[in-house]
Amino acid sequence: MNVEMILKTEKPMPLESRSLIHLILVSNKVNEQYAAALKEYDISQQQFNVLRILRGQNGKAANLQTLNERMISKQSNTTRLVDKLLGKGLVNRMVCPSNRRKIEITITDEGKALLLKLDEIVSHTEDELLSGFSKEDLIQLNTLLDKF
């Protein structure tokens, strides 16, 4: 990915600015690929993330705070995401018996079944996105990104 070509500029950019713009462009490409992969199933990346978190609870309920803490995108409106998933029959929401102010959320069997389909699609998307990288490249990339 050539930053200057994408931005249609021939003017040299400061390395720091170019590096950050490059990260943003790569992030956008990754997000677009994920969104395209999930579009057929009418699931957003954030909804997919909520479903994966709930599946990872192994049958235990999660509350909104737990979901918020574990979301990849911290800017997500978790309540709205859960409402949409509830409307699609992919999650259940109930009032906690011991604390009526607390809402507990679990994934339904339909949600688990959808995730099984999506796991394969997302895995294929990830393989496509990373096809130009060796295992060593990915280790180095992660080492560099850990510096943020």
Domain presence at residue 67: yes
Across residues 10-14, what is the average pLDDT? Answer: 85
Q: How confident is the model at residue 29 (pLDDT cuts 50, 70, 90)?
A: very high
Domain presence at residue 43: yes
101-138 per-position pLDDT tens digit: 888 999 999 999 999 999 999 999 999 999 999 999 99
Across residues 56-83, what is the average pLDDT? Answer: 88
Across residues 44-66, what is the average pLDDT? Answer: 93
Domain presence at residue 89: yes
pLDDT of residue 1: 65
Q: Domain range holding 80? A: 37-116
User: In terms of Cα–Cα distance, which of 31, 32, 70, 30 is closest to 51?
Assistant: 70
In the predicted model, is pLDDT for residue 12 greater than 90? no
Domain presence at residue 31: no
Q: What's the rounded Cα separation, in Å, for the pair 116 and 71? A: 20
Across residues 14-29, what is the average pLDDT? Answer: 92
Which of 3-12, 22-31, 81-90 comes out lowest in average pLDDT?
3-12
Domain presence at residue 121: no
- The residue whose two tokens read 């560099």 is 144
Number of domains in the chain: 1
Domain containing residue 89: CATH number: 1.10.10.10
pTM of the model: 0.86
